[in-house]
Structure formats: C-alpha cells, structure tokens
Amino acid sequence: MDGAIEVLRDGPVRLEALEGGAVWRAVLATPKANILDMKKCEILSGLFREAGSAKALKAVIIDADGPHFSFGASVQEHLPEQIEAMLGGFHQLFYSILDSGVPTVASVRGQCLGGAMELAIFCNRLVAAPDAVFGQPEIVLGVIAPVASVMLADRVGRGLAEDLLISGRSINADKGLAVGLVDQVTDDPGEAALEYVREHLLPKSASSLRFAVRAARVDFEKGVRRDLAEVERLFLKELIKTPDALEGLNAFLEKRKPEWEGG
C-alpha cells in the first residue's frame, strides 16, 4: 500500500488512505474534465488489483477534483489507431473491480458522462451532488457505450436504459435518484460517501464484505463478463469500421456538425 500511495500522490489519479488504511479514496485529479484516458484506466486497474490483496481494506471511494466528476473517455483515443488498446484497457478496469470484490462507492459532482457514468454506476453505491448530470452521449458521436449497454438496464430497467443509450440525453441527480441510478443526493457527496462507509462497512469483516459483494453480484458478474466481450467485438469488428462512426468522432474533434452517410 505504501508504494501505491507514493505512485499516486501527484499523478492523474490521487490515492488517499483513510480510516487507518481501511478505506481508499481514488481521486480523478485532472480537472476540470478529468478525462478517463488510457493512463487513468491503467492506474485505476492497478489500484483495484492491489485492493484485491489488501486484506484490511473495506471500501474504495471513487471521487474527483474540481467541479465535474468526468466528461468521460478520451474521444481522441476512440480513433482507429488507438481504439482497440483503449477499449481493452478501459474494460480491464471493470474486470479489475469485479476481481477485487472490494465494496465501491462513487462520489459525483457536475458532469458525469460516457465512460465516467459507466464507472460511477458500476460502483455498489452512487452518491451525487444536486448539480450532478448523468448521460451516455456516445451515440451523438456515432459510437456506443459498451459497459452501459450490458449493465445499465440492471440498474434502471430496460426501457430507460435503452432510452438513454439510444437518445444520448442526460438526466439530473434528482431524476437519477427517482429511477434508481443514484442512491443518495446530498450537498457534499464525498463526505456522505465516507459517512456511509464508516456507519455501514467499517464495523464489518473485510473478508466477509468481499464475499457479500461477490454473492450479491453473481448473476451481474456473469452477464458482464459474457456480454461485454460480445459488445466489444461488435464495436471493434463492425461499428468502428463504418463511415458514420469515424465521421462522428472526427466531427467532434473538429468542432463541427457530423454529416451522416447512413446505410
């Protein structure tokens, strides 16, 4: 753990040890956008691999510096020359979370979009500020959100999940609370996340908490491991080879409206 603290003290992800090391707070530390690029995903994956062997650890809180949680994954890294490495590394983060079995809590302020929303809703609990905004805008760029495609319905139901994935629209914290996307809305989500951990998780056995997480997610984990691989294949082998996917990404980077070909 000491090595992890040293590595993550000043980088794009900052790691803080709380409650005598029983709680880790992983902070996205490149405001205001806090883009989830390959470097951040690699660091977070390593953090969760280490978390899996940290026997006294009872929770990981994922937080962010600045007014926004994150604008999502790097659009530049979605281009053909980087997409396979980016998507593989991004999805490895979620497998690392599952492998660790450690309870996770997301603390969200401001924009929480795309890959950032996927990360937040993948946590066992999501605490949001009143100004939090959630959305999967990938379709606006002509692409899709693989992780949300396989697990968002598990959280909010099939109808709303398909609406958000197909429309790309965003919802606010209160709407998120009403539909089950968000578990708590409060002015200080970081403190509320820590209070939840202190009250409900710290009195429990660290090893038993991991069994509880694994048991509660048996079907969920099977579905993610099975379906995410198929959606990743769909993205890499089919979608990214279409003219409209490239047009949408390039139009965003060039700050212009896309001109869709269709078909």
Question: How big is the chain by its Cα radius of gyration, in Å?
Answer: 18
The first and second tokens of residue 131, run together, are 């100004």
pLDDT of residue 262: 80
Q: Please write the tens of the pLDDT for every residue from 103-133.
A: 999 999 999 999 999 999 999 999 999 999 9
pLDDT of residue 7: 44
Strands (E), the chain: 13-18, 23-28, 59-64, 104-108, 111-113, 125-128, 133-135, 170-172, 184-185
- 76 located within any domain: yes
Contacts of 167 (CB under 8 A, 6+ apart): 139
Contacts of 207 (CB under 8 A, 6+ apart): 55
- 197 located within any domain: no
- 214 located within any domain: yes
pLDDT of residue 3: 46
Q: Please write the tens of the pLDDT for every residue from 81-102.
A: 999 999 999 999 999 999 999 9
- Phi and psi at residue 112, in whole multiples of 5°? -140, 90
Q: How far apart are CA 13 and CA 17, in angstroms?
A: 13
pLDDT of residue 184: 98
DSSP-assigned letters across all residues of 48-72: HHHHHH-TT--EEEEEESSS-SB--
pLDDT of residue 263: 55
- 196 located within any domain: no
Residue with the two structure tokens 């995410």: 228
pLDDT of residue 246: 96
Q: How far apart are CA 42 and CA 13, in angstroms?
A: 10
The DSSP bridge partners found for residue 105 are 61, 125
Q: Which CATH number goes with the domain that contains 104?
A: 3.90.226.10
pLDDT < 70 regions, the chain: 1-9, 263
Contacts of 208 (CB under 8 A, 6+ apart): none
- 147 located within any domain: yes
Give the domain range for residue 128: 2-189+203-253
- 45 located within any domain: yes
pLDDT of residue 1: 46
- 261 located within any domain: no
Q: How far apart are CA 204 and CA 209, in angstroms?
A: 7
Could you count the other beta carbons within 10 Å of the beta carbon of residue 237? 9
